[in-house]
Amino acid sequence: MSEKLPWYKRLVNYLKDVRSELKKVTWPTKQEVYGTTIIVIIAIFFFGFYLFFVDVIFSWVIVQIKNLLG
């Protein structure tokens, strides 16, 4: 069984591995980032408005039920 390396050597090995893996990453282009950001913003507004209107409708239904029952 091999001995455990000191923490600083393990840290150096870890950082070397991280650097090696980062070289393999395919980074998105500026245009891809811009396009996906716009899609995310549109989706946030769409679902925000959708949930707002569903909440308003359910609130109105609950008030109507409460008024009907007493």
Task: Express each pLDDT in 47-56 by its tens digit.
Answer: 999 999 999 9
Q: What is the mean pLDDT of residues 57-61?
A: 98
1 domain-assigned:
no
Domain that holds residue 40: 7-69
Q: How far apart, in Å, do the first and last CA atoms of the chain sit? A: 77
* pLDDT band with cut points at 50, 70 and 90 for residue 8: very high
- Asked if residue 2 has pLDDT above 90, the reply is no
Number of structural domains (the chain) is 1
Distance CA 23, CA 33 (A): 19
For residue 4, the model assigns a pLDDT of 87
31 domain-assigned:
yes
